[in-house]
Every structure is written in C-alpha cells, then in structure tokens.
C-alpha cells in the first residue's frame, strides 16, 4: 500500500506542478506579446523557482510529509479524483481526509455521500 500511496503522491505532485507551470507560461506569453519586460519575466521565474517549486517539493517530500497526507491534500485540493484512488487505500487516508474536512466539503458541495 505504501508504494501505491507514493505513486499517487507523485501523480498529485506532477498535477500541481503542471498547474503552476501553466500559470508561469502565461508570463512568457505576456513577455512575447510585449506586455511585460524581460526583467518582469525573470522575476516571475525567480519567484517560481524560489517559492512555488520549493513549496511543492516540500509538500510532497516523503521525508517530511507521509504520502497519505499528500494524497489526502491532493484529493481535497482537486488535484486527484477519488476514482483515481484504489478503494483499499481509503482507510489509510481516512484520518488525513478528516483533518482536511474532505467528507464535509463533499457533502456541502453536493458531491459524494451526505453526512449523517
């Protein structure tokens, strides 16, 4: 199960990194269109490297964060869909999902099972 959770955390890391890189790519488009200077683009790249990329690396570093926490975060943040997570993994995620309020959020948003 540990391997499955690590793989899911890796998928979540890739999804979140792709989302953030897409936002950075907008800055490249703005630079190409002449809406920002090369210096503003350089600053956006620097912020991404020093802030965003490091934050993500820390969030998914198994030495600091167990994969069940990362996967629960990813489910809550919409980076992973529940159908991507094997049913047998859900008990390992239950405590972390509770911490993030995952079940309550699903019920509040009209998705998933209703709260009793």
Tens digits of per-residue pLDDT, 33-77?
999 999 999 999 999 999 999 999 999 999 999 999 999 999 999
Look at residue 115 and tell me if it is in a domain: no
Look at residue 116 and tell me if it is in a domain: no
pLDDT score, position 102: 80
pTM greater than the 0.85 cutoff: no
Q: Which burial class, exposed, middle or buried, applies to 80 when counting CB atoms under 10 A from its CB (0-12, 13-18, 19+)?
A: buried
Examine the pLDDT at 80 and tell me if it is beyond 90. Answer: yes
Mean residue pLDDT across the chain: 88
Look at residue 49 and tell me if it is in a domain: yes
Look at residue 48 and tell me if it is in a domain: yes
Look at residue 92 and tell me if it is in a domain: yes
Look at residue 84 and tell me if it is in a domain: yes
Give how many domains the chain has, as a whole number: 1
Look at residue 114 and tell me if it is in a domain: no
Query: Average pLDDT for residues 101-107, to the nearest whole number?
Result: 60
pLDDT score, position 114: 38
- In this structure, are residues 52 and 1 in contact, taking their beta carbons and an 8 Å threshold? no
Residue numbers of the domain that contains 41: 2-108
């Amino acid at each position: 199960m540990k391997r499955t959770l690590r793989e899911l955390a890796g998928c979540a890391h890739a999804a979140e990194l792709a989302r953030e890189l897409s936002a950075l790519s907008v800055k490249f488009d703005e630079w190409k269109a002449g809406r920002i200077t090369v210096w503003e683009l350089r600053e956006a790249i620097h912020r991404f490297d020093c802030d965003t990329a490091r934050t993500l690396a820390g969030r998914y570093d198994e030495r600091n964060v167990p994969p069940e926490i990362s996967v629960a975060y990813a489910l809550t943040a919409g980076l992973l869909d529940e159908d991507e997570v094997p049913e047998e993994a859900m008990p390992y995620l239950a405590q972390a999902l509770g911490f993030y309020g995952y079940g309550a959020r699903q019920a509040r948003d009209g998705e998933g099972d209703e709260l009793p």
